[in-house]
């Protein structure tokens, strides 16, 4: 049960915890707004400095614990700081029933209050997640309600409604990604997508092996050959009345990546149930569209399969013919994501979209380049890359642009086919991006390599250990938070 965040003009009388922002001033902790009895001297004596994410419980009144929440330098309180402070307060109030916070008192005049409320609600809501399905003795967040104390002309309440949708979508992605591969086969992923589509009102089409054969999805079918589980191609459509533009989303849906015959090490395989994180992000983000209601048609494709080394598995040297007719020599069966994405991207192009965004846990090389917390961002359209980057930054899902150098394209030349699926030892994230680029034609396209941020080894602000739901917030920010996205070919960025 997700934490419900609401607004309130005053602190509810029976609240168990009241979290009050405290800045880190030059001379010690500084109260921001009404301190509700907090004493900076006492805080300092108890070694509380006011650093971002620091919390300290104080006695407060009979019923209410007053918690100091650090927000760092008062002049530097940003959306990211608010998300982190809110996440910290939820972790510190994990076992309490109800909480209120005056964190909005910490918002500097140059930061929009509604955006600030969203950051607090999303930081709090996302930190309250835990995957408990298989725990005999789960320790879920008990906090059921958080009141954001402060004046509201309606904009804050509207922002909170939107945050609730975003948070539920991220929960959905995390649940899908955390689910073990043994219980989340491609068929099960498709069944869950169908349940979700039915519940929220999206159109869904699930293409089975025979359908994939008929469509010529040689990449997807090739990867699936080594597995006893049949593949699925999931297509979701959100088609609101009056939409004058289309965005296509494509998410890598490898429900388990053993590497295939180019098998991974035991260590390398341990986290590979998460190799459908891109697909989960597409399904989850789309699940929120009917509620958020952006006037854009969105079509999502999730090519889903296991990558296994069974007796019929593709062998290094085999050639696959993908949906677009492009042939690929598979020299490493562990570079399977790009094979299924080749089909997904080709199908996306057929929708004649104004933009394509793909999300994939595509390369270990991207983690080497950017570390585990930053997504790689590549594309064939600088304006679109910029838009995705700034949307990602606004919601606190960092993504960093990487180039698609033309001079590296020849590394994908094959002796026997149109392309080979590996591009050599260096710049693996870029050659993977260059491979995908072959399938998008002239459609403005962005690729997010989320191999790093799709999972986390620690609780960190809005991110929790395990599946993070990476990409969901960025997609929703773009689709429902940026009225100029996507730009039409005539450069028109306003909705009609």
326 in contact with ligand BES (CB under 6 A): no
Rounded Cα distance between 244 and 60, Å, is 55
Sign of CA dihedral 330, 334, 339, 340: positive
Q: Buried (b) or exposed (e) across 41-53, using 16+ Cβ within 10 A?
A: eebeeeebbbebb
69 in contact with ligand BES (CB under 6 A): no
178 in contact with ligand BES (CB under 6 A): no
Of positions 116, 207, 276, 451, contacts ligand BES by CB under 6 A: 451
358 in contact with ligand BES (CB under 6 A): no
For the CB of residue 322, give the shortest distance to ligand BES in the complex, in Å: 17
Is residue 95 annotated as part of the catalytic site, yes or no? Answer: no
Q: Buried (b) or exposed (e) across 316-331, using 16+ Cβ within 10 A?
A: eebbbbbbbebebbbe
| Integer angstrom CA distances of residue 68 from 99, 387, 490 | 13, 36, 52
257 in contact with ligand BES (CB under 6 A): yes
CB atoms within 10 A of CB 154: 9
Q: Which does 212 bind (CB under 5 to 8 A by kind): ligand BES, Zn ion, none?
A: none
# binding residues, Zn ion (CB under 5 A)? 6
Is residue 312 annotated as part of the catalytic site, yes or no? Answer: no
Q: Which does 332 bind (CB under 5 to 8 A by kind): ligand BES, Zn ion, none?
A: ligand BES
**3 state SS of 13:** coil
Rounded Cα distance between 240 and 337, Å, is 31
177 in contact with ligand BES (CB under 6 A): no
Q: Which two tokens stand for residue 416?
A: 């026997």
Q: At what angle do helices 155-178 and 113-127 cross, to 10 degrees?
A: 30
Say which of 162, 232, 297, 338 is annotated catalytic: 338
Sign of CA dihedral 455, 397, 440, 404: negative
335 in contact with ligand BES (CB under 6 A): yes
For the CB of residue 431, give the shortest distance to ligand BES in the complex, in Å: 8
Of positions 30, 179, 334, 397, contacts Zn ion by CB under 5 A: 334
Contact map string, positions 373 to 412, toward ligand BES, x by CB under 6 A: ----------------------------------------
306 in contact with Zn ion (CB under 5 A): no
Q: Is the peptide bond before 130 cis (omega within 30 degrees of 0)?
A: no
Rounded Cα distance between 240 and 204, Å, is 15
257 in contact with Zn ion (CB under 5 A): yes
Q: How many DSSP H helices and E strands does the chain contain?
A: 14, 21
Beta bridge partners of 440: none
# binding residues, ligand BES (CB under 6 A)? 15
- Per the document, the length of the chain is 496
Asked if 179 and 469 touch (Cβ cutoff 8 Å), the reply is no
Say which of 91, 187, 264, 373 is annotated catalytic: 264
329 in contact with ligand BES (CB under 6 A): no
Interface with Zn ion by CB under 5 A: which range of 101-109, 255-263, 447-455, 478-486? 255-263
Beta bridge partners of 1: none
Q: Which does 428 bind (CB under 5 to 8 A by kind): ligand BES, Zn ion, none?
A: ligand BES
363 in contact with ligand BES (CB under 6 A): yes
332 in contact with ligand BES (CB under 6 A): yes
Q: Which does 422 bind (CB under 5 to 8 A by kind): ligand BES, Zn ion, none?
A: ligand BES
Interface with ligand BES by CB under 6 A: which range of 49-57, 153-161, 198-206, 357-365? 357-365
Residues known to be catalytic:
264, 338
Binding site for ligand BES (CB under 6 A): 257, 275, 332, 334-337, 361-365, 422, 428, 451
Binding site for Zn ion (CB under 5 A): 254, 257, 275, 334, 336-337
């Amino acid at each position: 049960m997700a934490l419900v965040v609401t607004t309130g003009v005053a602190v509810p009388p029976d609240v168990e915890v009241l979290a009050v922002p405290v800045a880190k001033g030059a001379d010690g902790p500084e109260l921001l707004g009404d301190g509700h009895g907090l004493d900076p001297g006492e805080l300092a004596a108890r070694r509380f400095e006011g650093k971002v994410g620091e919390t300290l419980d104080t006695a407060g009144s009979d019923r209410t614990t007053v918690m100091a929440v650090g927000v760092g330098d008062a002049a530097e309180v940003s959306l990211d700081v608010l998300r982190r402070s809110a996440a910290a307060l939820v972790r510190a109030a994990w076992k309490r029933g109800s909480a209120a916070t005056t964190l909005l008192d910490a918002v500097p005049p140059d930061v929009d209050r509604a955006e600030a409320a969203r950051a607090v609600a999303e930081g709090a809501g996302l930190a309250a997640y835990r995957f408990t399905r298989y725990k005999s003795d789960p320790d879920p967040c008990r906090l059921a309600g958080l009141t954001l104390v402060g004046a509201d002309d309606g904009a804050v309440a509207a922002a909170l409604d939107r945050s609730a949708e975003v948070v539920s979508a991220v929960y959905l992605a995390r649940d899908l990604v955390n689910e073990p591969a043994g219980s989340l086969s491609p068929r099960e992923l498709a069944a869950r997508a169908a349940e979700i589509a039915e519940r929220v009102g999206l159109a869904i089409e699930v293409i089975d092996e025979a359908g994939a054969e008929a469509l010529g999805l040689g990449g997807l079918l090739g990867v699936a050959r080594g597995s006893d589980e049949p593949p699925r191609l999931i297509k979701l459509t959100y088609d609101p009345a009056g939409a004058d533009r289309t965005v296509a989303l494509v998410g890598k849906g490898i429900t388990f990546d053993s590497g295939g015959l180019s098998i991974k090490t035991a260590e390398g395989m341990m986290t590979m149930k998460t190799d459908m994180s891109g697909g989960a992000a597409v399904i989850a983000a789309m699940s929120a569209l009917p509620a958020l209601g952006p006037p854009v048609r969105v079509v999502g494709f999730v090519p889903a399969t296991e990558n296994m080394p069974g007796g019929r598995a593709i062998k290094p040297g085999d050639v696959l013919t993908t949906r677009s007719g492009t042939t690929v020599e598979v020299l490493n069966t562990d570079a399977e994501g790009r094979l299924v994405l080749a089909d997904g991207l080709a199908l996306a192009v057929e929708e004649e979209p104004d933009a394509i965004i793909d999300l994939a846990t595509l390369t270990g090389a991207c983690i080497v380049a950017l570390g585990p917390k930053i997504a790689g961002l590549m594309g064939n359209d600088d304006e679109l890359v910029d838009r995705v980057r700034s949307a990602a930054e606004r919601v606190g899902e960092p993504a960093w642009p990487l180039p698609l150098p033309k001079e590296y394209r020849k590394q994908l030349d094959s002796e026997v086919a149109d392309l080979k699926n590996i591009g050599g030892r260096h710049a693996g994230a870029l050659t993977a991006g260059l491979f995908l680029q072959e399938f998008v034609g002239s459609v403005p396209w962005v690729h997010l390599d989320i191999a790093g941020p799709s999972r986390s080894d620690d609780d960190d602000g809005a991110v929790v250990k395990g599946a993070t739901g990476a990409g969901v917030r960025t997609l929703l920010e773009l689709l429902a938070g940026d009225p100029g996205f996507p730009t039409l070919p005539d450069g028109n960025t306003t909705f009609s």
